[in-house]
Amino acid sequence: MLSRVFQAYGHVCAAHPWEVIVGTITLTSCLMSMSLFTGHDKICGWNYVCSREEVPHGPENIFLTVARCAAVLYIYIQFRNLRKSGSNYLLGIAGMFTIFSSFVFSSAVVNLIQADVSGLKDALPVFLLLVDIKKASALAKLALSSKSEMEIKDHIAQGMSLIGPTMTLDAVVETLVIALGTLSGIRQVEITSNFAWLSVVTNYLAFMTFYPACLALILELSRDGHGGTPMWYFHQKFAKVLQEEEEKKPNPVIQSIKVIMSAGLVLVHAHSRWGGEPSEGILSDGLSQLDLDTLGLQQEVTPDQSLWQFYLLSALQMDTDHVIMLALAAFLTVKYIYFDYDLDTQINLINNKVSPRPEGEDCTMGISTSTKEVEDDVISTATKSRHASFIIGDDDSSSESEKESKETQTELNDLFKPLTLRASSPPRDLEECKEILNSDEGPDELTDEEIMLLVKDKHIPSYKLENILGDYKRGVAIRRKLVSRTLASASAFKNIPYDNYQYKYVDGACCENVIGYIPVPVGVAGPLLLNNRQYQVPMATTEGALVASTNRGCRALSMSNGVSSVVIGDSMTRAPVVRLPDASKASQLKRWLDIPQNFEKVKESFDSTSRFCRLQKIQTCQAGRTVYLRFIALTGDAMGMNMVSKGSERALRVLHKQFPDMETMSVSGNYCTDKKASAINWIEGRGKSVVCEATIPASVVQSILKTNVQSLVDLNISKNLIGSAMAGSVGGFNAHAANVVAALFIATGQDPAQTVTSANCITLMEAVGKDRGDLYISCTMPSIEVGTVGGGTILPPQAACLQMLGLHGASDTSPGQNAAELASVICATVLAGELSLMSALAAGHLVKSHLKHNRSQLNVIPSLPTVKEDQSSSERTKITR
């Protein structure tokens, strides 16, 4: 029962971190201000001369010095042990917790002793001795093993259910036991006991309020992307961490004894403090008479300095024992930062443990001979090949070593390296491998052959290799080996690179069962002058002449005052299909949604699922007893399919309450319509609806495009309008819009499959101006489905292409502005491509340009007669032509 209460409490803290953090800080500030500067109008040592307690000397002074140094040493040991976990996030989070707890404790001490700041010198060492970072790091480990926002909340809640009850009971027992010292009548013991129980309470309150909320907020804000594996991911399975914490749960008998002892201590305190007459030394306000004597406000004097100067000088006055403590703290800090590097070396060795191989032993032991021979052939061939580098991404904020790993470089001699198998001859049996996998050592102690054995026996799902191993590259390499054994040709992977890639962005977001990546050439067209702003447009394509043709169109547009664009529509759609008992009930649902008040109910539920997704309207269509509900919503800078799907599911719950006999057949009923040619997208629009236009002077048409206006207008009517109509085209009233859309989609991380609908375009051309000598051209694209956040935009190369356009991420000023601008760029680039291709067709240059740009010499030359080495260059030119 108690565990469920703490679990619910932990979930609230993790789900509402801002509210909890602001509330905690506000309450702390209020408590500080209650008496920090106003608790006493008589400040000892400032405006009153007071009798001071004697300074301890002799054995007592030595004992206090040792205690203070032990406190500093204890904190150092705790942080050093945390460093062995290998997670910098654990260090940072534990440090944050200690600093905040120390701040709250210091505030409480200052208030308790009526703003005598010098008391902090004795209070803080006591706090450092009693603060326990282990529980804070345990909860952090559980949270760091999360891979999504929802998992963070669930894991923190489960951690609180495990740690909360035990910590609460321990705090109660410690407080009651330590508080007995306040009844001793011995001055120094009373002061130390007061500091001690206060430190226990402060540590507990900070852990139960500020810490889980701050932990959830930090991890949520530090996600390195939108949906990928977080940068703070602690590569240890949650089940294992949870099991470790459950094993640390104390014995129930001991817990029962603590409860009984607590009840007895409560009775002792009640009898001592309230059961009889107050002792001579204790006053009703909780301060002993000795405390007041120490304050001893006996003689008023005129202050010779301001109050803040008095506090500062009081805090800086240190005795010998304080100097020794600070010197030890400084020494240990320097040692921890600069000389404990051996810990990092040990951690790296553990995380990348490779068993030593006997000299001369084959690193591919256990691999079939045929496969090994293929790999050797690949390596020898690649080594002889000429070095090549293909850089498609970088991150200027990273260190040099990180930049090298983030530059997705494809080197021919790294295309397919043999796996570095951990030596084990022969592989251990299956049962032993299973035990090792489930042990604390985990998969790091298994060789790659043993991992493959576990995959083959279904103990490790192949699609979970990266997560279970905690090593993306090793997971991909092992999967390649597994798949290669089933292929007709073991050399199929020869030219599919897998090294030097940031798979953490791919995992859980972009692709599954990863075996590598495909480098695609990226060209640039431009500058494209759009709305008085120049863009260099990245285009990823394997079609020769496409970039060159688009680039010519951009040049013609730049010489003609550029392109103007307007976004006339912005809405992503999702259309669930529902079924009712009969057509009459189906029509009732349709009419019910037409009532504005009912729509607002559905909209409220829909909008609650996202900060950016906002329902605009619901378009309904009935077929028999089936109803299609096309939810139309704004989605900010995201393409928004997932947002709208999530909102649609929530809205359907509202409809189910109103129509209990309604059956949801599918969240998508193809009335959306997604990734399929459809008239509804062409007519109603989907995503961003954009119109671009430009006027090209006759001189530019003749000098750059090598044709004339009338020829272009006639060709556009015959080809793009009449020809497409004769073919029964839907949205295909253009020359090659899909070419440009696909190239931009691949370069900027959009969904290439949505080229089907996003390339809907009608190209119009007219003769305008004086003597109708100039060319007016426009492209209308009603369904460009793009986003600048989420999906493939999180991959560094694709993000770099968006950065080229200045459109990476969400807009800082207006949600949705970046995505709308990207759609405008795409439409304007399509216009440039249409202009250039239509001009080439009108002038009869299409075949010539493709022969020049779209014919690979690697494919053409072998079929031609052999050219002798002593042939002249002119003869060679004739042959290649």
- Residues with active-site annotation: 543, 675, 751, 850
d(CA 16, CA 610): 15
- What burial letters (b/e) apply to 328-360, b meaning 16+ CB within 10 Å? bbeebeeeeeeeeeeeeeeeeeeeeeeeeeeee
H or E, element range at 239: helix 238-247
Closest C-alpha to 136, from 163, 155, 102: 163
Helix ranges (DSSP H) in 180-231: 187-208, 210-221
User: What DSSP assignment string belongs to 474-519?
Assistant: HHHHHHHHHHHTTSS-GGGGTT---SS--GGGTTTTT-SS------
Q: Among candidates 148, 169, 171, 167, which has minimal Cα distance to 159?
A: 167
Tell me the C-alpha distance between 849 and 551, whole Å.
13
Q: Which two tokens stand for residue 870?
A: 């002593």
Give the closest residue to 116 by CA, choosing from 403, 301, 317.
Answer: 317
* 3-state secondary structure at position 214: helix
The H or E element spanning position 726 is helix 724-726
Query: Which tokens belong to 528?
Result: 């494209």
Helices first, then strands: H and E counts in the chain: 36, 13
Q: 645 near 725, Cβ under 8 Å? A: no
Q: Tell me the three state secondary structure of residue 270.
A: helix
Cα–Cα distance, 416 to 432 (Å, whole number): 31
Taking only Cα atoms into account, the Rg of the chain, rounded to an integer number of angstroms, comes to 36
Q: Closest by alpha carbon to 644, among 682, 684, 675, 616?
A: 616
Distances (CA, A) of 735 to 310, 653, 761: 82, 45, 9
Q: Which of 242, 241, 222, 221 is nearest to 231 (CA)?
A: 222
Q: Which residues partner with 528 through β-bridges?
A: 535
CA distance 827 to 689: 9
Phi, psi angles (nearest 5°) of residue 670: 65, 10
Q: Is 562 left (phi over 0), alpha (psi -120 to 50) or beta?
A: left
Q: Where are the alpha helices (DSSP H) in 36-119?
A: 59-83, 88-112
Residue 78 phi/psi, 5-degree rounding, is -65, -45
Distance CA 223, CA 226 (A): 7
Q: How far is CA 228 from CA 265, 408, 509, in A?
A: 52, 18, 5
Say how far apart CA 465 and CA 463 lie, in whole Å: 6
Q: In whole angstroms, what separates CA 205 from the centre of its chain? A: 30
- Residue pair 79/340 in contact (Cβ under 8 Å)? The answer is no
Distances (CA, A) of 278 to 288, 294, 304, 717, 826: 10, 20, 40, 104, 84
CA distance 33 to 764: 71
DSSP reduced 3-state for 160: helix
